[in-house]
Structure 1
Amino acid sequence: MDWKKEIKSWGIILAAFAFLYFTGLITPIMGGLQSLLLSTGLIKPKITLVDKTNKTFDYNGRFQDLDGNPVSLADYKGKTVFINLWATWCPPCRAEMPHISELYKKVKDTENLEFLMIALDKEMEKSKDFIDKKGFSFPVVHANLGLNASLQSQSIPTTLVISPSGEIVFYQEGMSNFDTEEFRCFLINQK
């Protein structure tokens, strides 16, 4: 074994990784690769009742939309609400966003169905710039005022669906392709 070639090979790999990391390119590249993986259909939402499901959702809480206007969770009572917790620095979050965007476009005119994409970046401007750059049209709010107990999560992305009766009927930590026929039907048929 030629150890000089091995060291050179590892040096090139480490240098490439360091370049991507320090230039900030690693996050969009990883997000893009994960989005491609989601596009294959191999990772789908598990519509099973786990974790926080079957619990009553806490509507106490306020956010700011990306224009700085206040948004109250109480305004969503009596509606089906798709909630996603995300951040620009999270590759899996970035990976699932195009799929959530497509889902939103397909169901946005459904009566009594709302989307709430909750940005967790420290700076609201980062979230706003990302959404503007990508051209996403779903409603985005910033969590600069904090999260209530119903929205606390071990990891992001985290997605919840709240029924019109205020029950958490879907809860998932981790990325998924939510733009499936099964999930659209699940969302639209909440009573």
Structure 2
Amino acid sequence: MNWKKEIKNFGLVIGIFALLYFTGWITPLMGGIQSLVLSTGLLKPNVVLENKEDRAFDYTGDFLDENGELVALESFKGKTLFINLWATWCPPCRAEMPHISDLYKKVQDEKTIEFLMIALDNDFNKSIKYVAEKGFSFSVLHANKGLNRSLQSQSIPTTLVISPKGKVVFYQEGMSNFNTKEFTEFLLNL
């Protein structure tokens, strides 16, 4: 075994990771790779809830919209809510965003469905800029006052669907491709 060659190869790999990390390219690169995996259809949302079924959703709280206006969560009572907790620094969040955008385009004309894309970045302008640069047509909200008990999660991305009756009917921590026929029908039939 040639130790000098092994050390040289190891140093090259470390150098590439250091370059990606310090230039900030690691997050978009990992998000892009994960988005490709989602495009394969291997990771689909499971619309059957486990341990969260029929829990009442807490509508308390306000979010900041892109114009700096407060939006009350209770103003969405009586609608189907697709809620996604995300951040620009999260590669899995970036990976699922194009698929969420495609789903949004399919159902955006439905007056009974609202998408609440809740950004958890400290700097909300980063979130707004990211969505604009990617050309996503949904708007984003900022959790500037924190999250109520129904929205608190151990990880991001986290996605919830709330029925018009105020029940949590879908809850998932982790990324998924929500732009499927089954999930679209699930949303439209609530």
Same fold flag (TM > 0.5): yes
CA–CA distance in structure 1, aligned partners of residues 181 and 19 of structure 2: 40
Aligned to 2:143: 143
Aligned to 1:71: 71
Q: How many residues align?
A: 190
1:24 to 2:24 alignment: yes
Gaps in structure 1 of 5+ consecutive residues: none
* Counterpart contact for 1:86–1:119, Cα < 8 Å: yes
Structure 1 counterpart SS, 2:36: helix
Structure 1 counterpart SS, 2:161: strand
Aligned to 1:4: 4
Aligned to 1:60: 60
* Counterpart contact for 1:161–1:171, Cα < 8 Å: yes
* Counterpart contact for 1:118–1:141, Cα < 8 Å: yes
Structure 1 counterpart SS, 2:55: coil
1:42 to 2:10 alignment: no
TM score, norm. by length of structure 2: 0.98
Counterpart of 1:142, as a letter, is: H
* Counterpart contact for 1:85–1:119, Cα < 8 Å: yes
- Share of identical aligned residues, percent? 66
* Counterpart contact for 1:51–1:171, Cα < 8 Å: no
* Counterpart contact for 1:158–1:172, Cα < 8 Å: yes
CA–CA distance in structure 1, aligned partners of residues 4 and 174 of structure 2: 41
Q: CA deviation at 1:132?
A: 1.0
Q: CA deviation at 1:89?
A: 0.2
CA–CA distance in structure 1, aligned partners of residues 52 and 92 of structure 2: 21
Counterpart of 1:158, as a letter, is: T
Counterpart of 2:111, as a letter, is: E
